[in-house]
Amino acid sequence: MSTLKADTIQSTGGGAATLTKQIAVKSFTTFAGDGTAIRDSFNVASLVDDGSGISSHNFTNSMSNTHYTSSSAGSYINDTNNYETYLGINYNNNLSSTRTTGQNHIGFWDSSFADPNNDACCSVIGDLA
């Protein structure tokens, strides 16, 4: 059996190596809850604020199909006692059916679409094209 040891693995162009056909996060984003600013990301070219509680994340490198898994989280304080409500993810209203290989749509829901008032996050698992 061989052992491979490395401190850094890069692509042939010198950048980060891309994992394909592996179970690993292919994209992540932490962003302002109102959908206006990316705080940190991997494989996300831009963020679009599609309205209250709804945003689109444009991938730098496309997914191989639209059957990837998207997981998101966000919270907001909804009363005077500062209790945080963790917003559910809403894939109704065509959010999941309108996703493409180049763009993931997410929506935060608490009886209606709502912007998290703190940072929100999203990760995507699937195969890259």
pLDDT score of 83: 58
pLDDT score of 129: 87
Backbone phi, then psi, for 42, in 5-degree steps? Answer: -140, 130
pLDDT score of 115: 84
Task: Give residue-wise pLDDT tens across range 68-77.
Answer: 888 888 877 6
pLDDT score of 86: 59
pLDDT score of 60: 96
* Rg, the chain, Cα only: 17
Nearest to 32 by CA among 57, 12, 14, 10: 57
Residue 82's CB is within 10 A of a number of other CB atoms, namely 7
* Distance in angstroms (rounded) separating the CA atoms of residues 94 and 123: 19
* Distance in angstroms (rounded) separating the CA atoms of residues 38 and 57: 10
Within the chain, which residues score under 70 in pLDDT?
19-22, 77-97
Contact in structure between 101 and 64 (CB atoms under 8 Å): yes
